[in-house]
Amino acid sequence: MRWAPSAAFRGGDQRVEAPVTLKGYLLCIFAAFGGILFGYDSGYISGVLAMPFFKAQFGKATGELGIDYVIPTWQKSLIVSILSAGTFFGALIAGSVADWIGRRSTIIAGCIIFSLGVVLQVAASSVGLLIPGRLIAGFGVGFVSAIIILYMSEVAPKAVRGAIVSGYQFSITIGLMLAAVVNQGTNGMDGSGSYRIPMGLQWLWALILGTGLFLLPESPRHYVKKNRLDDAACSLSKLRGQPINSPYIKDELAEMVANYRFEREHMNAGWLDCFLGGWKPSGNLRRVMLGVALQMMQQWTGVNFIFYYGTTFFKQVGIHNEFLISMITTIVNVLSTPISFWAIEKLGRRSLLIYGAVGMLVCEFIIAIVGTVDEGSKAAGICLIVFTCFYIFFFATTWGPAAWVVIGEIFPLPIRAKGVALSTASNWLWNFVIGYITPYMVDADKGNLKSKVFFVWGATCTLCVVFAYFLVPETKGLSLEQVSCLLDETTPRTSKKWQPSEMHANGYEKDVHLASQDLEHKEAV
């Protein structure tokens, strides 16, 4: 069965890619499952920390009768944040590993490391084992979260690449929701199952992802990088559901090979090379800064304030059913994300980022203003709930997926694994920084900002609009190879109108032709 991608192409020369079969799509989509690991892992711990049995097991007895248990603040923040430390370093190291053993094998390795971390966590009955468990699991999540984006961007057909990578974001949202639901379900249990079940379930996601990936082909672009062109052709043919000798496969492969050779003539593939090229739009430094800043700005939209601190915050501003409201926000997140599958290809990455940030900042300022002038009133409470849901809707349909899609597209192949790894590490770093400073802004005995904290998120979201408008190019409908030409030939503001010329307008049609001849020659031999 053939599926003709309906997403908007950009015109120009588009003949280098094959029509893709349903099986081809399913292969590309499967990897998105890794998002569940990301979402579940960041979501489950806050609920577990509040569980009575967990507190009794890991905390210290307080109160006159010694029947209240608390976990010291420093231990709590260590248990939460050690995961981000692991993911940060895991993502960075994965950037090298993926170039060495391949994208697919790196994700599988990430699942194995993660599983080891889960075993330690489930076995732990003291913080001494729990913390190393979280650190090791975080390391695995770092591997998985950085390299899945790379893998998906490299194997997906260009017309639906954005939609397929958005599937990863969709899985993150499902992971977050599942964590909330599981915590809710086991919270009342009187036994170690209350926290061991949510912890142990993490392993299931790693098992499904790791096993499934054994059956998927390696990224053809990784093989091109290793000069294993037969393997590249074989994996491309599996991914596109086309015979290995089909002209489509030859064309697409020839373009990958030519582009890689062209790029290798101009750059090396080490870590240092990620920081070369000065302020030139197509220079590596500029691209790396774009990826790193984009992931930083995604965190500065303030989204995790809702997902990590929502429950505490809603209660603090006088809303009574705070658990329910938090659960609703995770559901809105899941239900809205699929809209992005369509919007990201139809409206493009750049427009989504600009208009999404505008939508979010309007919601944030409304919450801040109403909550400040009418503090504690019923109207302010309703306004907070309604506009929080609109805010999550805007995030889920725009910045949530688009930030991941863009980092998968902007790097040239020689440094792509490292560029995506640096950008993902930035996501985790800012995730940690914002998580760490938030209590200081909102806790009653600290900044006690209450709804005014949304002035901060509104301001940072305004910076997101400026950032997207001036710095993010439109990359929809182009092959990863064409994106390099786009960066060379346009500015972000003019990028939307750019169209690839025959093959791509970089002057290396000759190289594509030569690569094609090489491939044919290889086949004949």
Would you call 340 helix, strand, or coil by DSSP?
helix
Least CB distance to ligand BGC at residue 138 (A)? 14
Q: Which is nearer to ligand BGC, 42 or 451 (CB)?
A: 42
Coarse DSSP helix, strand, coil percentages of the chain, rounded to the nearest 5 percent: 75, 0, 20
Of residues 57 and 423, the one with the C-beta less far from ligand BGC:
423
Structure tokens at 204: 């299931």
**Taking CB positions, which residue lies at the least distance from ligand BGC?**
400
Task: Classify 507 as helix, strand or coil.
Answer: coil
Pick 194 or 460: Cβ nearer ligand BGC? 460
Which residues neighbour 525 within 8 Å (Cβ) at sequence distance 6 or greater? none
**Smallest distance, ligand BGC to C-beta of residue 404, A:** 6
Smallest separation, CB 333 to ligand BGC (Å): 5
Which residues in this chain contact ligand BGC in the complex, by CB under 6 A?
42, 169, 172-173, 176, 298, 303-304, 307, 333, 400, 427, 431
Question: Residue 364 CB, nearest distance to ligand BGC (Å)?
Answer: 16
Q: What's the closest the beta carbon of residue 167 comes to ligand BGC, in angstroms?
A: 12
Closest CA to 58 of 44, 76, 74, 71: 71
Task: Report the C-alpha dihedral over residues 121, 122, 125, 131, rounded to 10 degrees.
Answer: 0
Name the minimum Å distance from CB 39 to ligand BGC: 7
Tell me how far apart the alpha carbons of residues 98 and 94 are, in angstroms, rounded to a whole number.
6
**Rounded to the nearest 5°, which phi and psi values hold at 69?**
-120, 140
Name the minimum Å distance from CB 403 to ligand BGC: 6
Whole-number Å distance between alpha carbons of 405 and 413: 16
Q: Which is nearer to ligand BGC, 153 or 298 (CB)?
A: 298
Q: How far apart are CA 234 and CA 220, in angstroms?
A: 8
Closest CA to 295 of 395, 173, 393, 426: 426
Kindly tell me which of 145 and 219 has the beta carbon lying closer to ligand BGC. 145
| Cα torsion 102, 105, 111, 117: sign | negative
The least distance separating ligand BGC from the CB of residue 306, rounded to whole angstroms, comes to 9
Output 107 or 165, the one with its CB closest to ligand BGC: 165
CA distance to 40, 138, 147, 267, per residue, from 101 (Å): 27, 20, 12, 21
Smaller CB distance to ligand BGC: residue 159 or 303? 303
- The residue among 153 and 194 lying less far from ligand BGC, judged by its C-beta, is 153
Bin 243: left if φ > 0, else alpha if -120 < ψ < 50, else beta.
beta
